[in-house]
Amino acid sequence: MHKRQHQQAYDRTRGTAQQRGYDADHRKWRAAVLARDPICTACGREPSTFADHIIPLKQGGAKLDLANGQGMCSRCHQAKRGRERHQEQAPAARWPPKRPG
């Protein structure tokens, strides 16, 4: 009766990739996005190294839809992520503009 041990080992090997959010489907989606957009869609110069979700998953974007994917270089991707983070933290950041004089 070693069924329980066997099951635990199976879950361990199967779970690691999914815990990081990079399962087989996601890898396929990423490869397809990079194949379609080999050059960064943001700056149009650097080779794409990231498959970015146009609509972030947090905002209800489709995770595995090519239409919601765009290839980006690491710099543009980081800039986009930074903007998104900023928007999350301060969705209605308003400050009174200074009047000249």
Q: Does 46 sit near Zn ion (CB under 5 A)? A: yes
Q: Does 47 sit near Zn ion (CB under 5 A)? A: no
Q: Does 51 sit near Zn ion (CB under 5 A)? A: no
61 within 8 A of 84, measured Cβ to Cβ:
no
Radius of gyration over alpha carbons of the chain, in Å?
Answer: 20
Which three-class secondary structure state does DSSP give residue 65?
coil
**What is the closest distance, in whole angstroms, from the C-beta atom of residue 92 to Zn ion in the complex?**
29
Q: Does 76 sit near Zn ion (CB under 5 A)? A: yes
Query: Angle 90-96-101 (CA atoms, 0-180°, nearest 5)?
Result: 150
* Residue in 29, 33, 37, 40 binding Zn ion, rule: CB under 5 A: 40
Q: Which residues bind Zn ion (CB under 5 A)?
A: 40, 42-43, 46, 73, 76
